[in-house]
């Protein structure tokens, strides 16, 4: 850490990690609901839909806070200047975290818009927009004042601006539900398969430049290729959500072809990370930071690329749409790409923010946490996938009713729950480890 104002990143990471823990607990509750029939009295006060909204909104909130913290850490290094308004960055954290808490409590009382992932009510949307403007103004002013532009910082800022603009598209409500879902996907799909990919790619480029000492020129050249491919495939790829929505028929072809190409940039990111690791001018230290970074490149490819490809063609999606196959992919993709990119960044930045004598830290607990959480999450996704294939067969081939098909799926939802316990254990180890990170003893 070279600049004082980078310190604002730390409270962002702490809040993000705590929300991550809460998200995991709610995930377990959801999976429990799938294999155990709760008394109606509990369902009446705490329905599945409420817990699901809390689980997914917590996910989005903590990942975004993590991205913002990471940006506040990276931008001073990239621009070689202090942040324009460090105190504003802290006020923004209080505003966004406060809005999140109000939203979660509101869900408990049924205060929701009902649209999955974008449940938070209109007045709170306004606060989110204010928070996003505070963020973009702060980062924008820092960049403009410093007059030093890098491709990494440009991609980061472009991704974040794109992300904020897309949020606006999700705010209006259209009475025609086909139209409403059409735009809902602009937010949900173009976030995770567009804007967030730009942010993640830029953060990974930043980490690689910092950790390997490879020339910026080389890393950024590949960053451009990745970004171009992400946008080229991801934007038209939105069509893989328009197959059965009442949108024009050409989306079957356009969505199928372009989304089938989406794994390409993700594969390129994996190959680039691998090549840069091999070309590194420095030893790949600290090892745990690299375990997270490379683990992210691999699981990003498996979860988003392979599991995404598996159901993206209309011929297959016709059977799997909206089933537990989707849930399987959703978990592995979010974890592989965005959970791990955030955790990698935290492992890189925390020793620097806490001014450890060297960048080395005690890492045993974190290694255990990584492997327990990742293997359990993979197992959980496979359990969801089996449940989903069963569901697709029973409902869409045999024509069984939704609740009839649930009975044979129960066992696999129990399997998902048990693996979920592992995710909670591993996740808690990572959270606890990062929050109490200690310097490695001097050699
Ligand atoms: C403790 C481990 C977890 C368990 C047991 C769990 C379980 C669940 C369940 C049962 C659902 C509802 C699926 C449905 O509506 O049919 C769900 C939704 C979701 N969870 Fe988790 N979850 C866990 C951790 C996570 C993590 C770590 C992430 C992020 C990487 C995550 C992301 C999501 C997403 C994105 C959805 C919405 C899926 C969709 O719309 O298809 N969950 N989770
Ligand atoms: C890191 C990137 C990605 C993340 C985080 C992600 C996450 C998700 C989530 C959470 C959903 C469920 C949305 C809902 O219905 O509530 C979903 C749906 C879907 N994803 Fe992804 N995804 C990613 C990349 C991809 C890629 C690259 C592909 C294709 C190659 C893909 C193909 C699909 C398809 C086809 C659906 C719709 C499933 C259905 O019809 O029910 N995804 N994704
Ligand atoms: Fe998509």
Task: Kindly list the domain boundaries of the chain, sorted by start residue.
Answer: 1-149
Q: What does the pLDDT read at residue 5? A: 98
**Do 78 and 152 touch, CB atoms closer than 8 A?**
yes
Across 87-106, b (16+ Cβ under 10 Å) vs e yields ebbeebbebbbebbebbbeb
Over residues 344-359, the pLDDT tens digits come to 999 999 999 999 999 9
Structure tokens at 111: 């205060």
Could you give the angle at the alpha carbon of 419 between the alpha carbons of 417 and 425, nearest 5°? 105
Best probe residue, ligand 2, of 333, 338, 341, 381 (max atoms within 8 Å of C-beta): 333
In sequence order, what are the residues at sequence separation of 6 or more whose Cβ sits closer than 8 angstroms to the Cβ of residue 28?
417, 420, 421, 424
Structure tokens at 87: 């105190």
**Do 105 and 112 touch, CB atoms closer than 8 A?**
no
Q: What does the pLDDT read at residue 443? A: 67
Q: What does the pLDDT read at residue 1? A: 84
Low-confidence ranges of the chain (pLDDT < 50): none
Measure the CA–CA gap between 70 and 144, rounded to whole angstroms. 19
Q: Is the CB of 119 under 6 A from ligand 2?
A: no
The pTM score is: 0.98
Sign, CA dihedral 269-272-278-279, equals negative
Q: Report which protein residue has its CA nearest ligand 1's atom 6.
A: 27
Structure tokens at 398: 């045999």
Sign, CA dihedral 297-65-47-176, equals negative
**N- to C-terminal Cα separation, the chain:** 22
Measure the CA–CA gap between 368 and 424, rounded to whole angstroms. 13
Closest CA to 139 of 94, 74, 191: 74
Per DSSP, the three-state class of 361 is strand
Distance between Cα 6 and ligand 3 center (Å): 34
Q: What does the pLDDT read at residue 9? A: 98
**Do 13 and 354 touch, CB atoms closer than 8 A?**
no
Q: Report which protein residue has its CA nearest ligand 1's atom 31.
A: 331
Q: What does the pLDDT read at residue 442? A: 81
Structure tokens at 155: 């991609």
Could you give the angle at the alpha carbon of 17 between the alpha carbons of 2 and 380, nearest 5°? 130
Ligand 2 atom closest to Cα of residue 304: 24
Q: Is the CB of 263 under 6 A from ligand 2?
A: yes
Distance between Cα 39 and ligand 2 center (Å): 33
**Do 216 and 155 touch, CB atoms closer than 8 A?**
no
Q: Is the CB of 115 under 6 A from ligand 2?
A: no
Q: Is the CB of 240 under 6 A from ligand 2?
A: yes
Ligand 2 atom closest to Cα of residue 331: 10
Could you give the angle at the alpha carbon of 403 between the alpha carbons of 397 and 409, nearest 5°? 70
Measure the CA–CA gap between 289 and 344, rounded to whole angstroms. 6
């Amino acid at each position: 850490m070279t600049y004082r104002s980078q310190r604002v990143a730390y409270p962002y990471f702490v809040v993000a990690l705590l929300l991550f823990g809460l998200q995991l607990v709610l995930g377990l509750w959801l999976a429990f609901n799938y294999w155990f029939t709760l008394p109606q009295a509990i369902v009446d006060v705490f329905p599945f839909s409420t817990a699901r909204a809390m689980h997914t909104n917590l996910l989005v909130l903590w990942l975004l806070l993590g991205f913002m913290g990471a940006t506040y850490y990276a931008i001073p290094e990239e621009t070689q200047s202090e942040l324009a308004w460090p105190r504003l960055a802290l006020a923004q954290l209080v505003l966004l975290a406060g809005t999140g808490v109000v939203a979660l409590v509101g869900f408990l009382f049924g205060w929701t818009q009902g649209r999955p992932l974008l449940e938070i009510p209109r007045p709170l949307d306004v606060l989110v927009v204010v928070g996003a403007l505070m963020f973009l103004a702060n980062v924008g002013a820092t960049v403009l004042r410093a007059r030093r532009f890098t491709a990494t910082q440009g991609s980061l800022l472009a991704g974040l601006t794109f992300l904020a603009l897309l949020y606006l598209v999700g705010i209006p409500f259209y009475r025609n539900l086909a139209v409403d879902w059409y735009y809902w996907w602009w937010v949900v799909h173009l976030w995770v398969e567009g804007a967030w990919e730009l942010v993640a790619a830029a953060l990974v480029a930043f980490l690689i430049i910092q950790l390997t000492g490879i020339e910026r020129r080389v890393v950024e050249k590949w960053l451009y290729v990745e970004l171009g491919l992400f946008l080229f495939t991801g934007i038209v790829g939105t069509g893989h959500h328009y197959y059965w929505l009442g949108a024009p028929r050409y989306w079957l072809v356009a969505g199928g072809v372009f989304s089938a190409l989406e794994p390409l940039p993700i594969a390129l990111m994996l190959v680039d990370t691998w090549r840069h690791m091999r070309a590194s001018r420095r030893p790949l230290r600290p090892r745990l930071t690299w375990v997270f970074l490379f683990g992210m490149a691999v699981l990003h490819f498996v979860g988003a690329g392979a599991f995404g490809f598996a159901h993206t063609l209309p011929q297959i999606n016709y059977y799997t749409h909206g089933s537990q196959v989707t849930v399987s992919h959703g978990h592995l993709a979010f974890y592989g790409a965005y959970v791990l990119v955030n955790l990698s960044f935290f492992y890189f930045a925390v020793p620097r923010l806490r001014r450890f004598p060297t960048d080395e830290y005690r890492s045993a607990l974190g290694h255990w946490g990584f492997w327990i959480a990742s293997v359990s999450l993979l197992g959980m996704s496979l359990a969801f996938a089996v449940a989903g294939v069963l569901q697709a067969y029973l409902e869409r081939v045999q024509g069984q009713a939704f609740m009839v098909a649930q009975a044979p799926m129960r066992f696999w939802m129990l399997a998902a729950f048990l693996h979920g316990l592992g995710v909670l254990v591993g996740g808690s180890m990572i959270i606890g480890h990062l929050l109490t990170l200690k310097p490695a003893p001097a050699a």
